[in-house]
Amino acid sequence: MPTSSHDVNGITLSVTLEGPDEGPPVLLLHGFPDSARLWRHQVPALAGAGYRVIAPDLRGYGESSRPTEVGAYRMRTLIGDVTGLLDDLGVERAALVSHDWGAGLAWATAMFAPDRVSSLTALSVGHPSTRAHAGWRQAELSWYMLWFLLPGVAESVLPQDDWSFLRRWGWRDPSDGTDAHRQIDDLARPGALTAALNWYRANIDPKTFGMTPTDTLPHVTCPTMGVWSSADPFLTEEQMSESSRFVDGPWRYERVDGVDHWLPVRAPGVITELLLDFLPAPA
């Protein structure tokens, strides 16, 4: 996928742009430990359907800037990356399509910059208020987040034995190792693993992890679709399905059975069909 560089919010983002400039803008936000390549199946399909597709390597990932300070990855700054990129491209409002940490960023953008978001599609990760309400089962599945918060520990363990732990834990079905290899090639570059982990370190407080309800967060008012997969080893269904409690706009929930966490590449046709059905059709 061809990319271009865009200087926004004090960093440089590598961005894939496809589709007609006059098409409805769709901004694709990947998660950990990924890049815009996660969306390689959806980008041409959406562009071919007439959408203006914008798929950045987010801060710390892919070919985008990797600041060294943990504070450079706080959610407020990440939202600034989204709005800054839209400003740079002359886009007033975009449909956000997101996965994993990208979904966390998309929810936050829809909450705190609602005038920039026409709709929200969140894959795997629900509204942040639902995680505290999802109970100890979700906290148990999220054990790795606490481990990621310890400076230097994950950086020491994950690369061992040719990244074998990440391959087994993150990609339990070894039938297609393409994306595991792609992620590891990215993370193996100098400073890349720490940059990716800084998303956790800047935005998760270990003292209140999984314990404190966050009902004071704003509700989302735009049309929203949540998609969860039944074989996801990291996230419960409740943290997605219960997101409806925090969406004041139209809400749609879709469950994809038999698919693990990596929905855009494990079920590309299903995700593309859901998006084409959910997003307003180009004029």
Residues of the chain with pLDDT under 70: 173-176, 208-215
- pLDDT score, position 172: 76
Residue 115 bears catalytic tag? no
Q: Catalytic one among 34, 57, 100, 232?
A: 100
Per-residue pLDDT tens for 39-69?
A: 999 999 999 999 999 999 999 999 999 999 9
Per-residue pLDDT tens for 143-193?
A: 888 889 998 999 999 999 999 888 888 887 656 678 999 999 999 999 999
Q: Enter the pTM of the model.
A: 0.96
Total number of domains in the chain? 1
Domain assignment present for residue 132? The answer is yes
Which domain range does residue 190 map to?
A: 3-278
Domain assignment present for residue 283? The answer is no
Residue 100 bears catalytic tag? yes
Q: Which residues contact 41 (CB under 8 A, 6 or more apart)?
A: 264, 265, 268, 269, 271, 272
Spatial distance between the Cα atoms of 69 and 59, rounded to a whole number of angstroms: 12
CATH number at residue 146: 3.40.50.1820
Domain assignment present for residue 218? The answer is yes
Domain assignment present for residue 52? The answer is yes
**b/e sequence 108-129, b meaning 16+ C-beta within 10 Å:** bbbbeebebbbbbbbbbbbbbb
Domain assignment present for residue 50? The answer is yes
Domain assignment present for residue 27? The answer is yes
Domain assignment present for residue 225? The answer is yes
Q: Catalytic one among 30, 99, 127, 261?
A: 261
Spatial distance between the Cα atoms of 130 and 273, rounded to a whole number of angstroms: 26
Under 8 Å between Cβ of 26 and 54: yes
